[in-house]
Structure 1
Amino acid sequence: MTDNTAGKQEGVAAVDRAFQILGALAQRPEPSSLADLARDTGFYKSTILRLCASLEGAGYLTRLQDGHYVLGGSALRLGLAYERQSPLRQHVVPVLQDLVAKGTESASFHIRHGKAERLCLFRVNSNHSTLDRVEAGAVLPLDKGAAGRILRTYGTPKGDLAPVALSRGERDPSCAGLAAPVFGPAGLIGAVSLSGPNDRFTEQAVTRMQELLLAATAQLSLALGGLRSNIKSG
């Protein structure tokens, strides 16, 4: 291996580690200590300190006076740029709001996030007093939950392409969820899910929510340029 190749690999590894540090910061609701970041990433503290110095210089994180770290202004700038460039929010959020207004459980929109996880991009809480614990920005396992099942099966050529997935107690024993796919011109974009306490997912409630969910995802897919051959409505 040449010195040039080794240098490139080291550079890629450093970028990967920096992204993992940013991801760990984004996951915590409060500022992270050096020990928190070491525990969350598995990196040596010396490695974290070196990468944090570079990230701080670029504005992606800030070191507080007490030594804790938070995301910096450049992270906000990227988020705002994503909002400007992506048409998803203007199409997805009104659909989620409409589902909740019709009496469904809490509505969320999920996309794949790496090989084994999914990201909740948008969330509208139901009007019920008790809710499942999911927030926009949460990273969840791809192998658990109705939305995860949709994202997995529609991302696999030989998957069982059921139009709706129902899960009970997979991620949280007390919760249940329904999910259906959303398509764009190039195929699957994400999944809309309805989730809440399991005891409210009666057979009658599931039937009603499934009809509303299929109609909503069909409407959303058409708005995002999905092919009619992929879209199934209630």
Structure 2
Amino acid sequence: MPRKAAQVSEADKHAAAGGAIAVDRALFVLSVFRLGDGALALAELAQRSGLYKSTLLRLLASLEHAGLVQRHADGRYGLGPEVARLHAVYAASFSLEAVVMPALRELVNVTRESAAFHVEQGEHRLCLYRVDSPQPVRDHVRAGELLPRDRGAGARVLRAFAGEPGELYDRIRQDGVAALVGDRSPDLAGVSAPVFGPGGVLAGALTLTCPAARYRDGFRDDVLQAARSLTRALGGTAPHGTPGAAVPD
């Protein structure tokens, strides 16, 4: 009789509800390759995935047949040429706006405050995308507007995760979020969290703004959750040790 695993493998922990187990396992095997990996030995793949080597060999045979992995002469496995082809197809069709705007709309729907996505732009920060609060009293920044690089929650997050020294930036890196009242304007509050792309590269800052009188502590969790989801949607991973930021599923 086939052996049963003593505990649930990492691959099975990430299986889709109602999905095909073999497909979930095969896709998880692909996901254990990390930035900087070349080829991996069967033992390393087994350790990362938690799968038996016998199971892995069957999955790798199917992945190799599809061109998603390739077996090197020394017996180790690396990603195959089909991965590069799929990446090219994805890159050609990718639209940052199509990914970011739904995340902003959802955050506005949850909080009823304004949400924006900021990126660094020379000596300023750029409000790249923006969704306004449905409430009449709000700040009136528009998409495309340049804002100070040294004031406001979004600016502080961009500087913190670009390595800016200082007590404030250390705290933001430690918390994974900036929640500030009156930093850019005395009557405004802002909550911002970093969004990362592949390899832990900072993609931008997801920021919620509101009148200071409407600020509440619960916005921190709302923004952190939205930033985690957006990082995943961008195929990103947070640098090791970043609190609250997305990690691979």
Shorter-chain TM band: 0.5 to 0.7
1:92 aligned to 2:100?
Answer: yes
Matches of 2:189 and 2:180, distance apart in 1: 6
Whether the aligned pair in 2 keeps the contact of 1:150 and 1:164 (CA below 8 Å) is yes
Residue of structure 1 equivalent to 2:183: 170
Higher helix proportion (structure 1 or 2): 1
Q: Structure 2 counterpart of 1:210, which letter?
A: R
User: Aligned equivalents of 1:171 and 1:85: distance in 2?
Assistant: 37
Note the C-alpha offset of 1:233: 5.0
SS at match of 2:106: helix
Q: 2:222 aligns with which of 188, 204, 212?
A: 212
* Gap regions ≥5 residues in structure 2: 1-91
Does the 8 Å contact 2:126/2:144 carry over to 1? Answer: yes
Q: Is the 8 A contact 2:194 2:245 kept in 1?
A: no
Could you say which residue in structure 2 is the equivalent of 1:222?
232
Q: Any conservation in 2 of the 1:221–1:231 contact (CA below 8 Å)?
A: no
- Which residue in the other structure is 1:189 paired with? 203
Report if aligned partners of 1:183, 1:231 keep a CA contact under 8 Å in 2. Answer: no
Native 8 Å contact 1:167 1:178 kept in 2: yes
Q: For the residues of structure 1 that align with 2:243 and 2:235, how far apart are their CA atoms?
A: 11
Deviations 1:27-46 (A, max 9, x none): xxxxxxxxxxxxxxxxxxxx
Deviation readout 1:154-200 (Å, 9 max, x if unpaired):
00175521311012222222111000000001410100110011111
Distance in structure 1 (CA, Å) of the matches to 2:185 and 2:94: 31
Give 1:225's aligned amino acid. Answer: G
Is residue 140 from structure 1 mapped to residue 147 from structure 2 by the alignment?
Answer: yes
Matched, 1:156 2:188: no
Q: Is the 8 A contact 1:110 1:190 kept in 2?
A: yes
Query: Structure 1 residue 232: deviation in Å?
Result: 1.9
1:110 matched to 2:118: yes
TM-score for the superposition, normalised by structure 2 = 0.55
Contact 1:104-1:209 at 8 Å conserved across structures: no
Corresponding residue for 2:25?
none
- Contact 2:154 2:193 (8 Å CA) reproduced: yes
CA distance in 2, matches of 1:225, 1:139: 27
Larger Rg: 2
3-state DSSP class of the match of 1:89?
helix
Check whether the contact 1:95–1:216 (CA below 8 A) recurs between aligned residues. Answer: yes
The answer as to whether partners of 1:177 and 1:194 remain within 8 angstroms in 2 is yes
Contact 1:100/1:124 (8 A) holds in 2: yes
RMSD: 2.1
Cα distance in 1 for partners of 2:236, 2:118 equals: 17
**Alpha-carbon distance change, 170 to 231 in structure 1, aligned in 2, over 3 angstroms:** closer
Deviation at 1:214, TM superposition (A): 0.8
* Structure 1 unaligned residues grouped into runs of 5+: 1-83
CA offsets 1:55-103 (integer angstroms, 9 cap, x no match)? xxxxxxxxxxxxxxxxxxxxxxxxxxxxx87621111100100011112
CA deviation digits over 1:127-158, x for unaligned, max 9? 21101121100100110000000000100175
Q: Identity of aligned pairs, percent?
A: 40
Q: How far apart, CA to CA, are the structure 2 residues paired with 1:86 and 1:113?
A: 22
Match of 1:102, SS state, is helix
Mapped contact 2:224–2:245 kept (Cα < 8 A): yes
Letter in 1 for 2:237: L
Look up the equivalent residue of 1:128 and give its one-letter code: Q
